[in-house]
Amino acid sequence: MSVFVAVVAYVAHLFFNSIVASNGVDVYGFEVPAFIVSGFLGLAFAVILQHALAGRRQPVEGAVFITGCDSGMGEVSALHLAKIGFRVYAGCFLQSSDAQLQEKFNKQSNNKGSISYVPLDVTKTESIQQAHATVEKDLAANGMNGLVSIINCAGISYTGPLEYLPMRMYRHQMDVNFFGYIEVTKAFLPLVKRVVSDPQQRRGRVVFVGTGGGVLTPAPGLLSAYMASKWAGEAFIQCLRMEMRLTGQRIDACMVNPGFIKPTGLVDAGKANVEKMWTTVPANAREEYEWLTDRFIKFSDDQPGTHPRFIAYAMEEALTASRPNLSYKVGPDSKASPFVGMLPTKLREWIVNASMFQVYDWTPQ
């Protein structure tokens, strides 16, 4: 539920509560309390008002460029958006992903769009430039003058104690999850501006994949590199969103914030990165932190997770909404985490430490 709906519902609830009989309403012989009736009417009014103000939805048309389409969230988003009617350019790190994507796309029924493999390493400027040239050439060959959206899904995760995690891992984390997102966006944004400059065309979109509940998510131990990269993306998207509005550009920017998404390759890749990390740090680092890392990995394994298809549905909503939200939270853990993040610091940290690391001490040693 958006903040808008919540606020309007509460105000409408107060209004209806003032006009509903204080002793409630009789419904088939049952007396329903006034506060329940006014609450229901307030919520219904807020939802109807939100839909009325939203205006018409953006059409499913045009071309989209997506990074990180080798597997997981990027792959499922590319396949779904191609299925419903977008022309999808799928940026992939692995050459083998070409045949894999086409095979999965061909197995889908009722495909209305198309999908094209584009080789891409988001950490290399020359690769991004080549991808841009490939996409621009193909767009021209198909009578299209640009893109309607850029979606950044590429991602890696490094887990480890911040005092020992090698700087090269911090840099690689930021290169993929943040600088790669920025460079791809800066390279392809002119293609979106071409389309939206025509007021008869639909609005454009830039979407980043974040994490959890966004900037209100508590930052747990061992995830300093990963959380830093995702929070940096949140700041970039908010600035981009404001700059587009201030300059009158018909481009909206938003985040898709997933909780635990399964199955994807991110968890297994994260475990492999932990093993690499242990081989590069002093022996005492493992003695100090391995128990903590093992508990976090067990916590991650035990989470049921949300299926990646719900990421694809969030991407569809972000691309077709008349005015998209700043953030689309996917999964119950993603929706709950901002509320934990707003708790008093001591309580928030206790909840995170107890749930993720099975450390229940209220007072630190």
Catalytic residues: 226
CB atoms within 10 A of CB 17: 16
Q: Token match 């350019």: residue?
A: 89
Q: Token match 């990995």: residue?
A: 297
- Give yes or no for a contact between 184 and 244, defined as CB atoms under 8 angstroms apart: no
- Give yes or no for a contact between 251 and 203, defined as CB atoms under 8 angstroms apart: yes
Query: Residue 168 and residue 145: Cα distance in Å, rounded?
Result: 39
* Rg (the chain; Cα; Å): 23
b/e per residue 116-134 (b: at least 16 CB within 10 A): bbbebbbbeeebbeebbeb
Identity of the residue numbered 63: A
* Overall size of the chain counted in residues: 365
Quote the DSSP letter at residue 90.
Answer: E
Query: Residue 87 and residue 36: Cα distance in Å, rounded?
Result: 47
Angle between the N-to-C axes of helices 180-196 and 224-246, in degrees from 0 to 180, rounded to the nearest 10: 20
Provide DSSP, 112-173.
-SEEEEEE--TT-HHHHHHHHHHHHHHHHHTT----SEEEE-------S-TTTS-HHHHHHH
**What are φ and ψ of residue 207, in 5° steps?**
-125, 130
- Of 189, 318, 346, the residue nearest 258 (C-alpha): 318
